[in-house]
Amino acid sequence: MKTGRRGLHLLLAGTMLAGVLAGCGSADKETGSKSAAADNVNKEGFPVVKEPLTLSMMGPDVGIQNWDKMATFEEMEKLTGIHMTFQNAPKDAFETKKSLVFVSGTYPDIFYAAGLTPAEQMNYGEQGILVPLEDLIEGYAPNIKKILDDNPTIRKSITAPDGHIYALPVIEFNQPWYRNPLWYNGDFLKALGMDKLPETTEELYAYLKRVKTEDPNKNGKADEIPLSSASPGNSLRDIRTWLLGAFGIYEEEIYVDDSDKVHYTPIEAGYKDYLTYLNRLWNENLLDHESFSQTAEQREAKARNNQLGLFSAWTAFQLMGEEPNTDDPMFSPVKSDSVSAPAIAKNKGINTGAFAISKTNPSPEASMRWIDYSYSIEGATLFNKGPEGILWKYTNKDTYEKEYLPVPGGGDREEYRSKITPNYGIPAPTINLPEISNGLLGDVDDWVANETKTKLLDRGARIPFPVLFLTPEEQAEVTTMTSDLNTYVRQMEAKFVTGAEPLTGWDSYVGTIKKMGGDRMAEIYQTAYDRWKSN
């Protein structure tokens, strides 16, 4: 049995929030106030403001450290001259809290890592609660402006149908995975004498069959589980995208093909082929029969007991409880006979709605300059790693080379990081760039990067569907249909895979989906995609 401790943690996101600023005066007074606020802002360099300024911030709290005690915010105050006040809102209850704040009429100056949906951005933007950001970006955010100028698709994706930008995104240039990869058990491959990974669905089936029947963990028991899933609330989610690709489908709900045609996946022929394949695996006990019920912890226990042949994880060694190693190869997407090459999904690269400014903010200009720093290499490093001198230091500032320092007081580096930066557990508004980790990556990191490049990126991985806005009318229609459709699709997926519903009932299923609006979903997203592409 494999043992050890976890390594390589997933970074990103944080903690917490808010304060309150009451309403305004007359239009003339507000204009004068804004002019005075702008006069207090230095357009370049630090500090951001000529006279100290206090702003309030709202965002989700992961419950590890109060933001007013975080070294990153303390460093930002030293640099900018802006003091932030925070009000905790637990992450699990944040959506409810956010809705109540918008209804209350009393808003924080800044919404941080707030996960504002496109619908919320349009709704509260059109009401005037959220300040349009495009002019502020032009005048006070050179880092953000350069990113948008260099990446026009990002600008399109964060611009509402009315032409305004109401929120800034998390920008991810350094992580191409659409979902956590699948990984093979390297010990099983060696035990089975396999020096070449499966390239087709039939070769994958043959591998899974051998795992089931040939005792590759060599314990004399038939306890191997060829393929296992654990995604409570959305069973099979962790393996679905990778297997759908074998049948030419990029994503489980909406994707656009190479001819710019938008598809609603649950009624596509390739989706039926995917269900047929999984039903075959299920019937032969090659797919874990607890996949629709087990927790992530239960699946992890199986991995640590060296029972799993193929599974989803951030890294294989992490799930298997080992020290970092390169023993377990990444799944190389396979193809079926119905396609010439697998469809491979790539991370969309942005997470919208991460930073917004409210209408009661006394200095939107200073707020924009404050957040712009987090989209620079230096600022992104600060928010990702914490201030220099705590967990890391530069060895060559010109090339951004760094080295890790001993964790203060010992202990886990990632756990300590969670106490000094909000960029942990929530989508903090910043950019993830390769330079952030210069000098900090080891051999295993390089190996994972190469596995990603050769098995995904070099084989044509692409974004299944761009991030875009729907019009209010489109959004209302989609919202009405989505919940019932998703519930029905997931229920029927489980029934088709397990055989509770035979696949001879496919036509009836498709008819029901169409009556519920499946065709209309494709039409709406086709219209939205055409609009997005033409901008």
The pLDDT tens digits for 71-82 are 999 999 999 999
Query: So what CATH class is 182-319?
Result: alpha beta
pTM of the model: 0.88
Round to whole Å and give the CA distance between 8 and 320.
Answer: 13
Q: How many CB atoms lie within 10 A of CB 222?
A: 10
Q: Which two tokens stand for residue 34?
A: 């804004």
**Which regions in the chain score pLDDT beneath 70?**
1-35
Where is 77: in which H helix or E strand?
Answer: helix 71-80
Domains 27-175+350-436 and 182-319 belong to one CATH topology:
yes
Residue of 374, 308, 333 lying closest to 113 (CA atoms): 374
Give pLDDT, residue 31: 35
Taking the mean position of all CA atoms in its chain, how far away is CA 405? Answer: 29
Give pLDDT, residue 88: 72
Q: How many CB atoms lie within 10 A of CB 149?
A: 10
Angle at 437 between CA 431 and CA 441, to 5 degrees: 145
Where is 304: in which H helix or E strand?
Answer: helix 296-304
Q: Where are the domains of the chain?
A: 27-175+350-436, 182-319, 472-534
Give pLDDT, residue 234: 82
Give pLDDT, residue 17: 27
* Sequence-ordered list of residues with C-beta below 8 angstroms from that of 325, at least 6 positions apart, any chain: 317, 444
Give pLDDT, residue 24: 33
Average pLDDT score over the chain: 93
Q: Taking the chain, what is the end-to-end CA distance rounded to the nearest angstrom? A: 56
Asked whether the beta carbons of 286 and 205 are under 8 A apart, the reply is yes
- CATH level 2 (architecture), domain 27-175+350-436: 3-Layer(aba) Sandwich (3.40)
Q: Which two tokens stand for residue 227?
A: 């393929």
Round to whole Å and give the CA distance between 326 and 328.
Answer: 6
